[in-house]
Chain A
Amino acid sequence: MGSATNEPLLKTDELRTYYFLAEGMVKAVDRVSLKINEQEALGIVGESGCGKSTVAHSILRLVREPGRIVGGKILFEGQDLLRMSEAEMRKIRGGRIAMVFQNPTSSLNPVFTVGSQVGEAIKLHQNVEKQTVVEKVCDILDKVGIPSPKERMKDYPHEYSGGMCQRAMIAMALSCSPKLLIADEPTTNLDVTIQAQILDLMKALRKEFNASILLIGHDFGVMSELCDRIVVMYSGKVVESADLSTIFRDPKHPYTKALLESIPSINIQKERLHVIPGDVPGLIKPPLGCRFHPRCEYVMEECKKNDPLLVEVDKGHEVACLLYHR
C-alpha cells in the first residue's frame, strides 16, 4: 500500500487459464484481474480448487498439462509475460519473480545438499565465481535464520526439519533479490509455532528485500499477518477485493462473510462453528449465473441467471455480487 507509484509491479488483465480434461473444459482461472503494487503484499484467499494456485502458476507460466493460459495479459514491470520467449521467461523465474511452495520437504532435491541447491539459483542468474556463490549461500541462509549456516549448508534436506526446509526454500527464492515473491500456501504443512516463525521471517525479509509478495492461502489468520490487501476467489473468479482491514470490518460478498464467520473465535460463544452449506461446485459444469448462488444465503431469482461483474462499492473495495449492483 502506501504511496506506491501509479504503475503496479504486476497486473493481470482478464487472465484466463483453462484445463482441458477428457471430461470437459475447466475454467480454473476465469477473467481474473489483479494488481500488485511495489512492496505490497497481496493475499489470495479461497477454498481448494478455486484456482488460486493456478493464478500463481500462470504468472510464472508454469501451468501444467492439460492446463493452458488461453487469454489475458500478465504485465510485469510493464512487459507482458505471456508474450515473452521461453528463454526470457527463464530469466524472470527466480531472478525477478520467485516462488515458495506448499510442501517444503519435497521442494528440495533429496540428493543434493541444501547449500548446493540454494547456490544453484545464484548460479543460474548471476555470473559469479564459485567461492562467491558459497559466501552468498552462507549469507542468505544466515538471513533466513538457519543456525551455523557454514556447516548446515553441507547437510542434505532429510537432515533438516520441515521449518528449516521452508527457510531454505525462502533463502533460495530470495537469493537473487526478486521483485515479487509468490508464496503458495507456504505454511500449510507446518505446525502452528513454525508457521508463526515463517510468517515473522517473511515479514522481516519483505522489509529487507523490498519485495512485493503474493501470498496464496485459505487461512485468514495467516493472511492477516502479512497482507495489505486481500482478494477472495471463488470457483475461478475474483468475488471480492479490498484492503485487509476492510475485509475484516466490512465484508460485502456473502461468500466472504461466510468465510469470515467460519473462523473460530475465542471471544464469541457459539454452539457450533459456522459452515458454508454445500460443496465447491464442479468446475466442468459450473452453476449458471453467479457461481456461488447454490450456497448463498441471500440468493435472489436473478442470481441464477446473471453473472455479476466486479463493481467498486467503495474506494479500493470491489465486489462481484448482484446485491450491490444497483
Chain B
Amino acid sequence: MNSKPSKKSEKGKERVHRPSRATRLFVVWRKLRKSTLAIAGLCIVVFMAMIALLSPMIAPYGLLPSGGSVEPPSMDHVFGTDVIGRDMLTLVMYGARISMYVGAAAVLVEMVVGVGIGMIAGYFGGIVDEILMRITDVVFSLPILMMLLVGVSMFEVRNINTIILVMALLEWPFMARVVRSGYLSLREETYVEAAKSMGASSWRIMTKHILPNILSVIIVLATMDIPWFILYESTLTFLGFGDPRASSWGILLENGFPHMRTSWWMITFPGLALLITSLGFNLLGDGLRDALDIKVRE
C-alpha cells in the first residue's frame, strides 16, 4: 500500500521531465561541446564559411589592381599586397569563397557516388557487390595526383566545376567501401527483416531504414574529406592545372611562389588560411566521430 503514492510521484516526475527530453541532435551537440578541440574546429569552419559567404561585403578592398606595387604588411594592408598592388587580405577572403565551394561541392558529388555504389553493393551483395567492388578497387588503386592531372587535362575548357567533378570521381572509393561494409552488416539486422516483413521495398529499406543508421559515419568521412578536396584543388592550381579565373588559395600560392624570397607575405597568408581550414575540418570530423557514435556514452 505504501508503495502506491511513491509510484505515482515517480510517474509524475517522469511526466514533468518529458518535455525537456533530448532529441538526438541535441545529444550530439552536448557531446560535441565537451570536446574543446571539436569546438575549436567548429569555430574555424564556421568562421571560414562566414568569410566565404560575406567576403564581398566585408573585404577591405576590391579585387581590381590598384596600380600600386608589392608592399609588405602595414596598417593599410594587414596582409600586404601582391605584385599588382591588390590587397592580400581581400584576396585571401575571396579565395575562401572558391576553396570552400570546392570542398563542399566535391564532397557532395563524392557522397552521391560513394554512398550510392557502397549502398547497392553492400545491400544486394553477390555478383552486384563483386562487380561494383572491383570497379572501386581499380579507382582506389589509381595514383591520385597523376590521375587528377590526367583527368583535368582531358577537359578542353578547364573550369572550377570540371575540376570538382574529376576530384570527386577519383575520391569516392574509400567512402563506397565504408558504406558497403556498413550495409553488409546492417542488412542482417532484425529490424531490416521486420521492415521487409512489413512490405517495404529494397530501395525504401536501403534509403529509409539503413541509411540513417550509418549517416554518422558518412558525415564524419565527408567532413574529413573536405580539406583534402581544398588541398587537391590548390595543388592542381599551384601546378598550373587549375581554373585561372577562380582566385582560390591555390592561385594565390602559385602567384606568390616566384616571389617567395623577397615577399614572404604573398604565400604565407594564403598558406595559413589553407592550413587552418584543413585543421578546422579535421578537428571537427574527429569530434563528430565521437559525438555521433551512440556507443560512446556522455
List the interface of chain A (C-beta within 8 A of B): 60, 62, 65, 90-95, 98-99, 101-103, 106-112, 120-121, 124-125, 151, 154, 156, 169, 172-173
Contacts and interface: CB of A to CB of B under 8 A. Distances in A.
A29 B128 CA distance: 29
B196 interface: yes
A103 B200 contact: no
B213 A109 contact: yes
A93 B194 CA distance: 10
B212 A93 contact: no
A28 to B, nearest CB: 17
A103 B208 CA distance: 21
A92 B199 CA distance: 7
Contacts of B50: none
Interface stretch (B74-82, B185-193, B220-228, B282-290): B185-193
A180 B121 CA distance: 34
Question: In the complex, which range does the number of interface residues on chain B fall in?
Answer: 20 to 34
B190 A112 contact: no
Contacts of A120: 195, 198, 200, 208
Given A94-B198, A120-B198, A121-B198, A111 B212 contact: yes
A108 B195 CA distance: 9
B198 A110 contact: no
B199 A111 contact: no
Given A101-B190, A107-B190, A93 B197 contact: yes
A111 B24 contact: yes
B18 to A, nearest CB: 6
B294 interface: yes
A111 B213 contact: yes
A110 B213 contact: yes
13 contacts: A94-B197, A94-B200, A101-B193, A102-B190, A107-B190, A109-B212, A109-B213, A120-B198, A120-B208, A121-B198, A125-B199, A151-B15, A154-B21
A95 B209 CA distance: 19
The majority secondary structure among interface residues of chain B is helix
A95 B195 contact: no
Contacts of B200: 90, 94, 120, 124
B193 A109 contact: no
A39 B14 CA distance: 40
Given A110-B213, A110-B294, A111-B213, A172 B198 contact: yes
Contacts of B9: none
A62 B294 contact: no
B188 to A, nearest CB: 9
B198 A112 contact: no
Contact of A98 (B24, B191, B198, B208): B198
B201 interface: yes
A98 B197 contact: yes
Contacts of B18: 151
Contacts of A125: 199
B199 A106 contact: no
Given A110-B294, A111-B24, A111-B212, A103 B190 contact: yes
Contacts of B189: 106
Contacts of A102: 190
